[in-house]
Amino acid sequence: MKRQLALLMSVIFFMVGCAEIETKSEAYPKMYSESEKPLSILVLPAVNKSTAADAGDLLNSTLTIPFADNGYYVMPISIVSDIFKREGIVEGAQLLGLPSSVFRSNFGADAVLYVTINKWDTSYIVLAANVSVGMSHVLVSTTTNEVLWSYDQTIVVDTSGDSSGFILLDVIKTAVTTAMTDYIPIARRVNDTAVLTMPHGKYHPQVGKDGDAEVVLKASKEKALEQ
């Protein structure tokens, strides 16, 4: 999996060509600061800007593993989600504007992760079709309220069927393939790719040793902050 993700990042960087690329330490210096280095992360309910009403709930199952594998303690998302729901909070937009210190005092988290679902869509163009999943991740310190890490990533999967030579059959085949596409594996790829740009946490053997890795697209870092 790690080799596949590394290859994916290499392809992305090749495609963007002369786009500005930063090292992890250049892009996220606060993540290397002793005073700001987070250990625990609280994931908030996602802000859903897509047309899929269930996207937020489906996304929850994809968020813990990549951040945990990267060396952070992720507070149990299902439990946190239930707590918010009991308080009448079912969508991340309801939490925007609150000082991050609220989450430190109530959950004890070092940092809070805001996730915005920008795309969870299907597109059709004649015989062609694709499924797009795009998200913005923003990690904020619950001590200083400053952004520690941010990244925007979108993955588009071509769901067009192979041509049979019969237009009507091809249209049906493409529609069926697209309708049956599982968004969750695509969401996992989006999260995995974004987390590759994130400095390793305390519980990862490479913590503090990845600052020179040139894997951060500056435009994607800044785009996440616009969401």
| pLDDT by residue, tens only, the chain of 227 residues | 555 455 555 545 544 555 899 999 999 999 999 888 899 999 999 999 998 888 998 899 999 999 999 999 999 999 999 999 999 998 899 999 899 999 999 999 999 999 999 998 866 555 466 788 999 999 999 999 999 999 999 998 876 655 444 444 444 444 444 444 568 888 999 999 999 999 999 999 999 999 999 999 999 999 999 97
Looking at residue 6, what is its pLDDT?
A: 54
Angle formed by the axes of helices 2-16 and 183-195, to 10°?
A: 80
Looking at residue 21, what is its pLDDT?
A: 96
- Strand ranges in the chain using DSSP code E only, listed in sequence order: 21-23, 40-43, 47-48, 73-74, 111-125, 128-141, 147-158, 214-217
Looking at residue 147, what is its pLDDT?
A: 97
Cα 38 from Cα 29, distance rounded (Å): 13
DSSP class per residue in 113-165: EEEEEEEEEEEEETTEEEEEEEEEEEEEETTT--EEEEEEEEEEEE-PPPP-S
User: Which CA distances in Å does 32 have to 149, 172, 219, 221?
Assistant: 11, 52, 21, 17
State the fold for domain 25-124+131-154+191-210+218-226: Rossmann fold (3.40.50)
- Domain chopping of the chain, boundaries: 25-124+131-154+191-210+218-226
Contact 159, 130 (CB under 8 A): yes
Looking at residue 110, what is its pLDDT?
A: 97
Cα 66 from Cα 74, distance rounded (Å): 10
pTM of the model: 0.84
Looking at residue 121, what is its pLDDT?
A: 80
Cα 94 from Cα 46, distance rounded (Å): 10
Looking at residue 212, what is its pLDDT?
A: 97
Looking at residue 17, what is its pLDDT?
A: 53
